[in-house]
Amino acid sequence: MKQQLTLIMLMTSMLFATAGKAAGGPSDTEKRYWVANAGYNSIVIRNNVNVVLIEDSSTLLSIEGPEQCTRNVELKVENNTLTISSKRAAAGRHITVYVPVRKLQRITVKGESQVKTIGILDSEKLHLRIEGECQINVLVRGRTTVDNDDEHSFGYLVHKRFSLRKKEYNASYDTADPDH
């Protein structure tokens, strides 16, 4: 009886693993690592790659996605700029690159890339440049400026946190409002 139960559990797990693979599930996913050969304080993101920024001093980046897509990711550091791109723009939609950053000064996002943070980035002054139909959702401690190319417009929301009489308040301002 115990052997039958074990056999049934084994067959069930194999069935789910096979179904997951056939449906393009997690068994398709590959995780690769890349070590930055130099420091960087600027990032350029191209061709629909999703990027997650993490405040950390590590030089180890990780790339996750379907195997055929992760092989198309190109990473390089030149002149203090980390460039992240995909050889095939359509394939990049399934790729996520996790990037550790310290004292980041500039992010340029091109195409339909998505950028977000895990935690809060510590940056005295961060410049965001938008050159495409991208999405950027970052939390930054420091001054942030945003601009765009002539072909795309943008809107953004600023969250300010301040303390008054030992009570904390959260305020949210639309930067289109000139009073804030």
Per-block mean pLDDT, blocks of 10 residues, the chain (180 long): 43 41 60 95 94 97 91 95 83 80 96 93 94 90 88 71 44 44
Question: Is 84 within 8 Å of 107 (Cβ atoms)?
Answer: no
Look at the chain and count its residues: 180
Concatenated DSSP letters for 9-72? HHHHHHHHHHHHHHTT-GGGEEEEEEE-SS--SEEEE-SS-EEEEEE----EEEEEEEHHHHTT
Q: Any idea where the domains of the chain sit in the sequence? A: 29-155
Q: Which CATH architecture has domain 29-155?
A: 3 Solenoid (2.160)
Continuous segment of H or E residues that includes residue 173: strand 167-174
**Whole-model pTM over 0.75:** no
Q: How far apart are CA 156 and CA 38, in angstroms?
A: 32
Q: What is the pLDDT of residues 79-96, one digit of tens each?
A: 999 999 988 655 445 799
